[in-house]
């Protein structure tokens, strides 16, 4: 195939049985289970095992996995010291990519990946997966304190994944209702077929680099505003609009100037992203729990969605997962620049599931190109060259 398709749109890059999207019906499923059912009934720990192993775990299997995650939350003090040497003004995603990449130096163990064949040692794959998924949220929360001049909050083994993350982030236990919503948010962000960051993970994994290198590559890709960083842009956009009364004029002006409407549209969906629908319901439940008063951001977001549907619905442009996730995180009290870090924490489950799948039938990625440069020509000594 020599046809060039920008962004590889529609070009299959791999075979996978991890997740699937029906863009016309607005259905996302993990291993065949609709995301709506998982968000209602599952937990992030259970969903992670589903992504990794291909089936819903038994209670005993889940208990063992949960215990492994809890026991692997601590990181060496060298990691903390390294973070303390980083600029406090650095973006959390830059810190996270640096910290994850450094884990391989403090926790070596890539022997299984050496040689010409991909690793078939599932114990190695599982152990590395547990260590990364367990430590990702710890490093995110450590940075929140370190960059503000404080010592990190120690992890607690008596709290589940979501509860411990929020506890380490603020130093306080959160309302179980908030913990449950946050847990569901992690489920929604855990996996989404072969998106840009997952593809980066596949390419890195195909070289048999360490899983730390795989996840670091994925984090760097996710940080871009056209991928995971869009949730930060949504909040900035809504603040710029200011209020529901200003939505129509703002949107008309943005469309006239061909500006991007952050959080709107998705290459895979012709209808509203199912994750956006679920997040909107979470937001409504949260507001009801807190007394029923709409926040300014949420009120503006609802108004913008309504007007955007009139203007852009016929083109299949609807809210995606980034549209409401940032608003919800803002309500919980999480700083805007940490939104994408949370995305990365959740998506580590999907990245590592794809890493495992890639290793099971590995072949290094080596795409071709359509060359558009000069034809073969002779070298000209510098004294004989003329200015163009």
- Active-site amino acid positions: 266, 322
138-153 residues labelled b (16+ CB within 10 A) or e (exposed): bbbbbbbbbbeeeebb
91 close to 54: Cβ distance less than 8 angstroms: no
Residue from 14, 326, 370, 361 nearest 195 by CA: 14
Beta strand 33-34 with 27-30: parallel, antiparallel or unpaired? antiparallel
Q: What is the DSSP string of 18-55?
A: SEEEETTTTEEEETTEEHHHHHHH--HHHHHHHHHHSS
Which ranges in the chain belong to alpha helices (H)? 35-41, 44-53, 59-71, 77-84, 92-106, 122-146, 161-170, 176-189, 196-206, 211-222, 230-241, 247-256, 274-289, 296-312, 321-332, 339-360
- Determine how many CB atoms are found less than 10 A away from the CB of residue 313: 12
List of residues 6+ apart from 85 with CB closer than 8 A: none
List of residues 6+ apart from 57 with CB closer than 8 A: 46, 49, 50, 65
115, exposed or middle or buried, with CB in 10 Å at 0-12, 13-18, 19+? exposed
What is the C-alpha to C-alpha distance for residues 155 and 64, in angstroms, rounded to an integer? Answer: 19
What is the C-alpha to C-alpha distance for residues 206 and 362, in angstroms, rounded to an integer? Answer: 6
List of residues 6+ apart from 125 with CB closer than 8 A: 119, 355, 356, 359
List of residues 6+ apart from 293 with CB closer than 8 A: 287
What is the C-alpha to C-alpha distance for residues 35 and 44, in angstroms, rounded to an integer? Answer: 12
Residue from 344, 360, 36, 305 nearest 216 by CA: 344
């Amino acid at each position: 195939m020599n046809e060039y398709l920008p962004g590889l749109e529609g070009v299959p890059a791999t075979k996978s049985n991890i997740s699937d999207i029906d863009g016309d019906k607005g259905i996302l499923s993990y291993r065949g289970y609709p995301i709506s059912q998982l968000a209602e009934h599952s937990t992030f720990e259970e969903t992670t095992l589903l992504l990794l192993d291909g089936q819903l775990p038994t209670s005993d299997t889940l208990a063992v996995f949960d215990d492994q995650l809890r026991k692997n939350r601590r990181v060496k003090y060298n990691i903390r010291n390294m973070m303390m040497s980083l600029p406090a003004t650095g973006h959390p995603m830059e810190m996270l990519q640096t910290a994850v990449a450094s884990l391989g130096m403090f926790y070596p163990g890539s022997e299984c990946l050496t040689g010409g064949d991909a690793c078939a040692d599932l114990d190695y794959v599982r152990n590395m997966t547990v260590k990364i998924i367990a430590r990702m949220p710890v490093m995110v929360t450590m940075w929140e304190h370190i960059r503000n001049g404080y010592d990190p909050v120690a992890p607690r083994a008596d709290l589940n994944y979501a509860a411990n993350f929020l506890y380490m982030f603020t130093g306080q236990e959160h309302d179980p209702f908030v913990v449950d919503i946050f847990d569901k948010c992690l489920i929604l962000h855990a996996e989404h077929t072969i998106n840009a960051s997952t593809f980066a993970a596949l390419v890195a994994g195909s070289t048999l680099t360490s899983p730390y290198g795989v996840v670091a590559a994925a984090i760097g890709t996710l940080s871009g505003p056209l991928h995971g960083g869009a949730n930060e842009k949504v909040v900035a956009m809504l603040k710029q609009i200011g209020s529901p009364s200003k939505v129509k004029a703002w949107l008309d002006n943005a469309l006239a100037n061909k500006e991007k409407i952050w959080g709107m549209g998705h290459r895979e969906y012709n209808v509203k992203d199912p994750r956006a629908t679920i997040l909107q319901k979470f937001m409504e439940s949260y507001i009801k729990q807190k007394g029923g008063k709409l926040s300014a951001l949420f009120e503006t977001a609802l108004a913008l969605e309504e007007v955007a549907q009139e203007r852009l619905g016929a083109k299949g442009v609807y809210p995606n997962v980034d549209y409401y996730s940032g608003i919800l995180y803002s309500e919980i009290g999480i700083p805007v620049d940490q939104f994408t870090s949370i995305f990365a924490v959740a998506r580590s489950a999907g990245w590592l599931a794809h890493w495992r799948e890639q290793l099971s039938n590995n072949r290094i990625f080596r795409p071709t190109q359509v060359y558009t440069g000069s034809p073969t020509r002779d070298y000209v000594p510098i004294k004989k060259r003329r200015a163009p």
